[in-house]
């Protein structure tokens, strides 16, 4: 188990390293650099100033050189400053990360809490009216673009009925838990609606497959009742593929969260990265994207552990 | 759930299980088709009845019907299944669950797929025990280990902790048998229990089933497509073809003097029974699909003896010992 | 007929790497098939018989050893150079459904080898396909249908027709009748015998069913744990088996008409894992005759004294078989050994 985890951590670190290079390179390919922005913001700056500043910040060096310098600093724990917020990037990122993780965790758990029972019930009576309804709803959720849904939710619940805030966030100190929760309702609903359909369909498909297996017949022949057959014998087997697919989907959910936060003006990673890119705050964007990558990698690692725990045929080697 | 031990039969010659007029039907376009049609037989204490036939003849469905486990959308259309005189077809699922695995247990063909891959064999055997007896987890565990030991698994204490994939095919089938027998059933249904196994392992498993039967006197319904295996274990044989039993008789007389042309054909086509080389006698054609069976006798389209009468009228099914379902039985 | 065998394999070796170590599937196996001969390869699952078939046909190139086909060494040929060999050796598999492309009509399936090897014009190919389906007992109206519309036996006929298309000298048939019902099995065995009669090709017939093997084979090779333990003309093998494993297989084969089985006839134990084969004779852990020598010294496959056409890899091969347990020789004495 320790070896397995160590191996996977090394693997994740290499992915992260590769991603940092790719993202750094992409940033470098973007038109304009911070100095251009300074020039446009400050008409008194001359082109000599610009050359001097470029040299000062090392922007005149080739990109590989700059990357190497950045990497050396980053490994040493110095992730640099955010130009936009004029703070160390970590000070900016951590609160945003907290918000995003909270949004993701609530949406993810809620989606599973709906998808698992729905998928199981639909699989127990495939092609029944209930199954058709579940499928229809699931397809509707899958088909809806999340940005469009977010706007509709805002129009209906914030503008027309004025029930919930359209964006922003509450803080515990101001309005207590309920006030904070009110700000989360629409973003969470948005994410749940777009992800629950897929989760339900995976669960249903895996359960139908599991319920068709010979060991289900064996369990029934032993005298096991329907609840035991479904929840003990079929579910655990069905969860093996479901965990894998949902973990792969986690990246999707994450990018959904980024869009959702941007639309609901919720101060999370999504909005931060968006603002950083739009404001050419390269360092913040870079580190933000790497944090996002890490989050996805951690999600996948957790899924691998869950997978190996569910299936005794998988050994940690 | 605690189920009372099966009531002892007052008369030892009284059948443990009596099946009569059993139909299993499936809805098809504009009606229904009987995959099992008018099957009848009885199982007696300490004896083995083999249900033999080719794939698709309805033998497995018959077995599942006895336990009320016909897969959807099939259903028992008619007939009766009496266990010690108690009608099972009219029982609700809850009452049937008290019988399944307890009084009537079943062993399946593929021990790899028939065992749940994510639980240890010990857990699966213990579960079978706890479903029918009130026992602590520890007691059920001990019962499972002693049962594994009993079916010839060395180092049962440790093997109980193994997952199915960690055991060989023969071991898995022993574990399946341990699971079936842990509640001391008085009927064991073995559905092709050795078909997936190598021939040397098959012999071991057949010995095991016979030894267990000798020990506790259970009645065995042994389902197989392999006449060779059947001849090694059966006291009585029922030959199924296209959903009905066409011949039913004690094993010795079936193999010495088969009366139904299909039975004769099956025995003659076995490569091991004829001198080597040359042509094997063959039954022409294929087993008809249960939705498109010929009119009259179902075997008439493949039978060399069939005449107009055979193609018009079905002979009555062979529902008891010594019976044959053929207009031309005993024809030269 | 020439004295040179059609195909001759010597000292074939093949290992696979698995997570748990090296699986030695073939440990120096040799066999030969003459023109027009049927050699049956018998063994239980894991004995290596399928790997052997694939190694001799170069579907899975062996790690070591030699295969000569019609006098030519083929193990060192390049892919392209193997093409003439591929034409002359064809395979038929156990699962006729898995080996037929479900999306092609039967006519195209059977014609495919002709197309691949660039045989004939479209018209000529049409005619040969028509002859082939007739030869295997199907109708010309079957050519436009798809594999799923056929029963298992008919699919095996299609697979055989495809194998015949290029007029091969050898057909390697891997459990060709194991998945079929008995009444269909005899039809296919008859077909294979008829085709051999009319076309004169040889078969390497792989099976676990001794009844089938006894019926169709001229010679039989018995495999156990990656080696051939006995090889003999079929009549000899069944009458005077000289390897205890062969005897165990014969004894274990259920045959109609012997009456209900007597307990204790089964051979003990299970085949050892190819990951950790036993030292000495591979069969010694299960062998009723094993002595200390068997645990230390690997027996070599050598002709049996007085029976030059029969070879066995057993230190006791020259002792006649103890009586008993042979359904085909009807010896009645039973060895008394208990269950494990």
Convert chain B into a string of H (helix), E (strand) and C (coil): CCCCCCCCCCCCCCCCEEEEEEEEEEEECCEEEEEEEEEEEEECCCCEEEEECCCCCCHHHHHHHHCCCCCCCCEEEEEEEEECCEECCCCCHHHHHHHECCCEEEECCCHHHHCCCCCCHHHHHHHHHHCCCCCCHHHHHHHHHHHHHHCCCCCHHHHCCCCHHHCCHHHHHHHHHHHHHCCCCCEEEEECCCCCCCHHHHHHHHHHHHHHHHHHCCEEEEEECCHHHHHHHCCEEEEEECCEEEEEEEHHHHHHCCCCHHHHHHHHHCHHHCCCCCCCCCCCCCCCCCCCCCCCCCCHHHCCCCCHHHHHCCCCCCCCCCEECCCCCCCC
- The answer on A22 and A155 residing in a single domain is no
Say yes or no: A10 and A121 in one domain: no
Q: Give bridge partners of residue C64 from the DSSP assignment.
A: C13
Q: Which of B101, B105, B116 sits opposite A215 (nearest CB)?
A: B116
Instruction: Kindly state whether residues A217 and A145 are assigned to the same domain.
Output: yes
* C267 with B235: Cβ contact below 8 A: no
Cβ contact C215–B202 (<8 Å): no
The confidence score (pLDDT) of residue B332 equals: 56
Residue B99 Cα, gap to closest chain A Cα (Å): 7
Would the CB atoms of C266 and B251 count as touching at under 8 Å? no
Q: What global pTM score does this model have?
A: 0.86
Confirm or reject contact between B253 and chain C (CB < 8 A). Answer: no
Q: Kindly state the tokens that stand for A122.
A: 């639909």
Q: Which of B169, B225, B233 is opposite residue C182, by nearest beta carbon?
A: B225
Quick one: closest CA in B to A217, which residue? Answer: B114
A81, A101, A121 — which closes off a domain?
A81
Lowest-confidence range among A67-81, A124-138, C78-92, C177-191?
A67-81
Q: Are B227 and C253 in contact (CB under 8 A)?
A: no
Are residues A152 and A172 both part of a single domain? yes
Cα gap C283→C295, rounded to integer Å: 9
Q: How far apart are CA B308 and CA B306, in angstroms?
A: 7
| Domain match, A65 and A198 both | no
Q: Calculate what percentage of chain A has a pLDDT beyond 90.
A: 26
Q: Do B272 and C327 touch (CB under 8 A)?
A: yes
Q: What is the pLDDT of residue C335?
A: 29
Q: What is the mean pLDDT of residues B275-293?
A: 82
pLDDT band at A221 (very low <50, low <70, confident <90, very high): very high
The minimal CB distance from B69 to the residues A215, A220, A313 is found for A220
Co-location of A236 and A305 in the same domain: yes
- Tell me the pLDDT band of C323, cut-offs 50, 70 and 90: low
The answer to whether residues A64 and A142 belong to one domain is no
Contact status, residue C183 vs residue C18, Cβ threshold 8 Å: no
Determine, yes or no, domain membership for A227. Answer: yes
A139 with A279, same domain?
yes
Provide the number of structural domains found in chain A: 2
B91 at interface of C, judged by CB pairs closer than 8 A: no
Could you tell me how far CA B307 lies from the centroid of its own chain? 33
pLDDT band with cut points at 50, 70 and 90 for residue B4: very low
Instruction: Encode B146-181: b = buried (16+ Cβ within 10 Å), e = exposed.
Output: ebbbbbbbeebeebbebbbeebbbbbbbbbbbbbbb
A117 & A266 share domain: yes
Residue of B154, B119, B95 lying closest to B127 (CA atoms): B119
**pLDDT grade for A83, boundaries at 50, 70 and 90:** confident
Query: For residue A63, is it within any domain?
Result: yes
The residue written with tokens 């057993």 in the block is C314
Give the confidence band of C332 by pLDDT, cuts at 50, 70, 90. Answer: very low
* CATH assignment at residue A267: 1.10.3720.10
Name which residue leads in pLDDT, A290 or A61: A290
Query: If pLDDT is split at 50, 70 and 90, which confidence band does B274 have?
Result: confident
Q: Say if B159 is an interface residue toward chain A (CB within 8 Å).
A: no
- Residue B107: is its pLDDT beyond 70? yes
What is the tens place of the pLDDT at every residue in C148-182?
A: 888 888 999 999 999 999 999 999 999 999 888 88
Q: Is A162 within a domain?
A: yes
Establish how many alpha carbons lie within 13 A of residue C124's alpha carbon, considering only the half-sphere containing its beta carbon: 8
Q: Choose one of A35, A63, A81: the last residue of a domain.
A: A81
Q: Does A189 share its domain with A211?
A: yes
Contact B108 A225 (CB under 8 A): no
Nearest CA in chain B to A218: B114
**Chains in contact with chain C (at least 3 beta-carbon pairs closer than 8 A):** B
B101 contacts chain A (CB < 8 A): yes
Average pLDDT, chain B: 89
What is the rounded average pLDDT for all residues in chain C? Answer: 87
pLDDT at C330 over 60: no
pLDDT surpasses 90 at B179: yes
The answer to whether position A49 is within a domain reads: yes
Q: How far is A220 from chain B (nearest CA, A)?
A: 8
pLDDT tens digits, C98-150: 888 989 999 999 999 999 888 888 899 999 999 999 889 888 888 999 998 88
A101 within a domain of the structure (yes/no): yes
Give the range among A35-39, A61-65, B111-115 with minimum mean pLDDT: A35-39
Percent of chain A at pLDDT > 70 equals 94
Interchain CB distance below 8 Å, C44 and B200: yes
Of A303-312, B6-15, B163-172, least confident by mean pLDDT is: B6-15
Is A65 within 8 Å of A50 (Cβ atoms)? Answer: no
Q: Does some domain include residue A121?
A: yes
Domain that holds residue A22: 2-81
pLDDT digits (tens, 9 = 90+) for C274-307: 888 899 999 999 998 889 999 999 999 999 988 8
**Stretch B202-228: mean pLDDT, rounded?**
93
- For the question of an ipTM over 0.90, the answer is no
Do B76 and B22 contact (CB within 8 A), yes or no? yes
A315, part of any domain: no
CA distance C336 to A296: 65
- Choosing from A59, A81, A103, the residue where a domain stops is A81
Residue A252 has pLDDT above 80, yes or no: no
The answer, yes or no, to whether residue B44 has pLDDT greater than 80, is: yes
Same domain assignment for residues A71 and A94: no
Query: Is A316 a domain residue?
Result: no
For A308, B265, B283, B321, the CA distances from B262, given in Å and listed in that order, are 52, 5, 8, 17
Q: Give the pLDDT confidence of C231-247 residue by residue, as tens digits.
A: 999 999 998 999 999 99
B positions 32-61 inside 8 Å of C (CB):
54-55
pLDDT in tens, C23-51: 889 999 999 999 999 999 999 888 999 99
Give the residue-averaged pLDDT of A158-181: 71
Nearest 10 degrees: Cα torsion C316, C319, C320, C322: -70
Residue B3 pLDDT > 60: no
**DSSP annotation string for chain A:** -HHHHHHHHHHHHHHHHHHHHHHHHHHHHSS--HHHHHHHH-TT--HHHHHHHHHHHTTTS-HHHHHHHHHHHHHTT---EETTTTEEHHHHHHHHHHHHHHHHHHHHHHHHHHHHHHHHHHHHSTTSHHHHHHHHHHHHHHHS-HHHHHHHHIIIIIIIS--S-SS----HHHHHHHHHHHHHHHHHHHHHHHHHHHHHHHHHHHHHHHHTSHHHHHHHHHT--HHHIIIIIIHHHHHHHHHHHHHHHHHHHHHHHHHHHHHTT--SHHHHHHHHHHTT-HHHHHHHHHHHHHHHHHHHHHHHHHHHHH-TT----
Whether A71 and A106 share a structural domain: no
């Amino acid at each position: 188990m320790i070896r397995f985890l160590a191996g996977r951590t090394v693997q994740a670190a290499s992915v992260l390293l590769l991603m940092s290079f790719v993202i750094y390179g992409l940033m470098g390919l973007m038109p304009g650099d911070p100095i251009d922005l300074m020039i446009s913001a400050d008409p008194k700056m001359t082109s000599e100033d610009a050359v001097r500043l470029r040299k000062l910040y090392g922007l005149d060096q080739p990109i590989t050189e700059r990357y190497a310098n950045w990497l050396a600093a980053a490994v040493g724990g110095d992730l640099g400053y955010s130009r936009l917020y004029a703070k160390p990037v970590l000070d900016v990122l951590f609160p945003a990360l907290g918000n995003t993780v909270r949004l993701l965790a609530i949406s993810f758990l809620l989606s599973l809490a709906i998808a698992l029972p729905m998928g199981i019930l639909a699989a127990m009576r495939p092609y029944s009216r209930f199954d058709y309804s579940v499928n229809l709803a699931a397809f509707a959720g899958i088909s809806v673009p999340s940005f469009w849904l977010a706007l509709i939710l805002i129009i209906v619940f914030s503008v027309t009925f004025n029930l919930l805030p359209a964006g922003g966030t509450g803080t515990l100190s101001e309005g207590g838990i309920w006030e904070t929760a009110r700000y989360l309702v629409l973003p969470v609903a948005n994410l749940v609606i777009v992800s629950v359909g897929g989760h339900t369909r995976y669960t249903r498909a895996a359960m139908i497959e599991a319920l068709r297996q010979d060991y289900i017949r064996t369990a029934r022949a032993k005298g096991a009742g329907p609840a035991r057959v479904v929840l003990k014998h079929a579910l655990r087997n069905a969860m093996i593929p479901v965990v894998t697919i949902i973990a792969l989907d986690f990246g999707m959910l994450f990018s959904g969260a980024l869009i959702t936060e941007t639309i609901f003006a919720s101060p999370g990673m999504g909005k931060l990265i968006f603002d950083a890119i739009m404001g050419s705050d390269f360092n913040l964007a870079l580190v933000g994207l790497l944090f996002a990558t890490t989050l996805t990698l951690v999600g996948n690692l957790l899924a691998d552990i869950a997978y190996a725990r569910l299936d005794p045929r998988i050994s940690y080697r | 759930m605690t189920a009372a031990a099966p009531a002892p039969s007052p008369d030892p010659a009284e059948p443990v299980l009596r099946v009569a007029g059993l139909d299993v039907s499936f809805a098809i376009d504009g009606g229904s088709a009987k995959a099992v049609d008018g099957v009848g037989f009885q199982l007696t204490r300490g004896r083995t009845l083999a249900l033999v036939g080719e794939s698709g003849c309805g033998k497995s469905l018959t077995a599942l019907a006895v336990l009320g486990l016909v897969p959807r959308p099939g259903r028992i259309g008619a007939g009766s299944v009496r266990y010690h005189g108690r009608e099972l077809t009219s029982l609700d699922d809850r009452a049937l669950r008290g019988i399944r695995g307890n009084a009537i247990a079943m062993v399946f063909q593929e021990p790899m797929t028939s065992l749940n891959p994510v639980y240890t064999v010990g857990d699966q055997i213990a579960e079978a025990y706890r479903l029918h007896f009130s026992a602590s987890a520890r007691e059920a565990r001990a019962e499972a280990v002693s049962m594994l030991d009993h079916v010839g698994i060395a180092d049962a204490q440790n093997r109980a902790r193994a997952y199915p994939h960690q055991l060989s095919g023969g071991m898995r089938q022993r574990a399946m048998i341990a699971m079936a027998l842990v509640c001391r059933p008085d009927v064991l249904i073995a559905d092709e229990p050795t078909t997936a196994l190598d021939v040397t392992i098959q012999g071991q498993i057949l010995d095991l089933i016979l030894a267990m039967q000798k020990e506790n006197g259970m009645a065995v319904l042994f389902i197989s497509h392999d006449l060779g295996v059947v001849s090694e274990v059966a006291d009585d044989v029922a030959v199924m073809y296209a959903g009905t039993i066409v011949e039913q008789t004690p094993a010795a007389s079936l193999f010495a003097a088969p009366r139904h042309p299909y039975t004769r054909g099956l025995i003659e086509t076995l490569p091991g029974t004829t001198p080597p080389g040359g042509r094997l006698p063959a039954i022409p054609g294929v087993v008809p699909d249960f939705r498109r069976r010929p009119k009259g006798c179902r075997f008439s389209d493949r039978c060399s003896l069939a005449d107009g009468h055979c193609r018009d009228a079905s002979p009555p099914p062979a529902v008891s010992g010594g019976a044959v379902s053929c207009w031309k039985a005993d024809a030269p | 007929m020439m004295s040179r065998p059609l195909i001759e394999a010597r000292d074939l070796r093949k290992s696979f790497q698995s997570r748990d170590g090296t699986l030695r599937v073939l440990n120096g196996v040799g066999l030969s098939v003459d023109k027009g001969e049927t050699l049956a390869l018998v063994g239980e699952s894991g004995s290596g018989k399928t790997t052997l078939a694939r190694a001799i046909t170069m579907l899975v190139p062996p790690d070591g050893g030699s295969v000569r086909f019609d006098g030519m060494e083929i193990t060192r040929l390049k892919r392209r150079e193997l093409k003439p060999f591929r034409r002359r050796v064809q395979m038929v598999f156990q699962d006729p459904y898995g080996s037929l492309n479900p999306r092609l009509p039967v006519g195209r399936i059977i014609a495919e080898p002709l197309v691949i090897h660039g045989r004939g014009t479209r018209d000529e190919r049409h005619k040969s396909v028509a002859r082939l389906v007739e030869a295997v007992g199907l109708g010309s109206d079957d050519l436009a249908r798809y594999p799923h519309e056929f029963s298992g036996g008919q699919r095996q006929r299609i697979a055989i027709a495809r194998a015949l298309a290029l007029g091969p000298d050898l057909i390697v048939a891997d459990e060709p009748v194991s998945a079929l019902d008995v009444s269909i099995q005899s039809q296919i065995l008859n077909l294979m015998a008829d085709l051999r009669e009319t076309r004169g090709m040889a078969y390497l017939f792989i099976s676990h069913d001794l009844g089938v093997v006894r019926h169709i084979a001229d010679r039989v090779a018995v495999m156990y744990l990656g080696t051939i333990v006995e090889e003999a003309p079929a009549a000899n093998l069944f009458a005077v088996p000289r390897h205890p494993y062969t005897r165990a297989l014969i004894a274990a084969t259920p045959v109609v008409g012997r009456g209900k089985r007597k307990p204790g006839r089964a051979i003990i134990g299970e085949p050892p894992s190819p990951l950790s084969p036993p030292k000495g004779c591979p069969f010694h852990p299960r062998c009723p005759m094993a002595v200390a020598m068997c645990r230390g010294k690997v027996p070599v496959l050598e002709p049996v004294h007085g029976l030059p056409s029969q070879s066995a890899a057993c230190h006791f091969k020259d002792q006649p078989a103890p009586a008993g347990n042979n359904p085909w020789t009807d010896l009645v004495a039973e060895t008394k050994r208990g269950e494990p």
